[in-house]
Structure 1
Amino acid sequence: MGETTDGSSGAAHGAHHDTEDEEQSANRGFFGRIFGGFAAPEDEGDEDEDSDGGPEATQAVRPGLSNLRRLRVEDVSIPAVEIVSVRDDIARDELVAVFRDSGMTRLPVYHDTLDHPVGMIHLKDFALQFGFNGEAGEFDIRSMLRPLIYAPPSMPIGVLLQKMQSDRIHMALVIDEYGGVDGLLTIEDLIEQVVGEIEDEHDIEDAQLWTLEKPGSYLALARTPLDEFEAEIGRKLVDPEDEEEIDTLGGVVFVLTGRVPTRGEVIPHPDGLEFEIVDADPRRIKRLRVRLPEAAGA
């Protein structure tokens, strides 16, 4: 009799906890599901250990929850040479120009050199105080600084993502063993390792692989089919023997350089064209500007 009573109580108690678990699971939201994947059992990562962790393995990584465990900060950060940043004594009009030209909403701020960061400036803070025809007052970027997260290169990106979410700081600088700035990441960079590339309102729409900015100058996605773009400009960009191996604009640039070029780099083509890298990360080219010979020198 006691066993029956205890068993019934235990079953009811277990059902009660099951209901609570379901409610908690339903309420934990997007970040909860991501962090749940980060904390998955260790045996799920056995397949990842087969990789030697070299550059080839990193470049072959596809979006997924396993990346939160297998990738480190150094694998996905933007190199220091590509960081768009401003000095702590920058003038108001100069800051406006940097925001406009870069398209960034957050910029790291430094004193003297980037190896001496002092914080981050957010476009929203600047606009609310000095834009929208409001009372501007005396400009001082130091009064608008927000904190940054400083992360070592070896930190798993899942750990950094958790810290960004808990601290409500969406930008991190990568600090090397000597205390210098080695790279930069945003929370978007980390989430893209899980869900894939995130296109915002300023990115070219998927259906629009390229746009004609002005005569002889195109802004294009790196994945633009090569044959379609060649038909658009009326000229061939690869030799006939290479046509089967290269099928995108990004592939043309990669073959010309033998590597993934950095943002802002200009790659000349033997036929007089120029490829300017508009957006790229350490693993792939995203967007580029193609200047035909008549516009390459403009």
Structure 2
Amino acid sequence: PRVVVATASEEITIGEFYKNKSYLHYSRIPVYSDNDKEKICGFVYRQEVLEHLANDNFDLCLKEIKKLIMIAPTSQPLTILWERLTSQKTHIAMIVDEYGGFEGIVTLEDIIETIMGIEIMDDRDIVADMQQFARERWEERQKKHKYLS
């Protein structure tokens, strides 16, 4: 879900990116343009960012290393999305609504979890079920701000 996607501006430097440790929990981080978190324009690999850090490329902007991100509509069947991701040898896609608005991110791991009916947890995962986490965050906001009910 969009509300729990960690994103970064394509304008920030590798050094600025590294200061935000929450990015380090993910292998692929979507990047946005024009200071608008809804305008996802690609993604960066955490590993590539770390390699640039190791080479003292602190001032390199993310837009210089971003990769294109696959776009898929919310209506696309899971089997078709699986085929698209695997045929293009990519692990991440941006999901958009019927108007092209950013809805969230899906990964090959998400598809496998859906097919298998299990949550795959690795040592970097901080939340087992992101959809449940998003629902819980929304409920907390509703309680905090009664006008959202």
Cα deviation, 1:56-105, whole Å, max 9, x if unaligned, reads: xxxxxxxxxxxxxxxxxxxxxxx22221101111233331133x224112
Whichever residue aligns with residue 41 of structure 2, its letter is V
> Identity over the aligned pairs, expressed in percent?
26
Whichever residue aligns with residue 134 of structure 2, its letter is T
Q: 1:135 to 1:186 in 2, by over 3 A?
A: same
Select the structure of larger CA radius of gyration. Answer: 1
Is 1:121 paired with 2:44?
yes
- TM-score, normalising length from structure 1? 0.41
Q: 1:159 to 1:138 in 2, by over 3 A?
A: same
Is 1:199 paired with 2:71?
no
Give the Cα–Cα distance (whole angstroms) in 1 for the partners of residues 17 and 97 of structure 2.
Answer: 28
**Per-residue deviation at 1:221?**
7.6
Give ranges in structure 1 of 5+ residues lacking alignment: 1-78, 205-219, 223-259, 268-298
Is 1:94 paired with 2:20?
no
Q: Which residue of 2 aligns with 1:32?
A: none
- TM-score, normalising length from structure 2? 0.77
Runs of 4+ in 1 over 6 A off after TM superposition: none
SS at match of 1:154: coil
**Per-residue deviation at 1:264?**
7.7
Cα deviation, 1:87-141, whole Å, max 9, x if unaligned, reads: 111233331133x22411211111121332221011111111222xx24264121
**Per-residue deviation at 1:203?**
4.6
Q: 1:184 to 1:105 in 2, by over 3 A?
A: same
SS at match of 1:199: coil
1:262 alignment partner, one of 130, 134, 139: 134
Give ranges in structure 2 of 5+ residues lacking alignment: 141-149
Q: Which residue of 1 aligns with 2:80?
A: 159
2:3 alignment partner, one of 54, 73, 81: 81
- Equivalent residues in 2 for 1:39-118 (5 A)? 79-98=1-20, 100-102=21-23, 103-112=25-34, 113-118=36-41
Q: How many equivalent residue pairs?
A: 135
Q: 1:178 to 1:203 in 2, by over 3 A?
A: closer
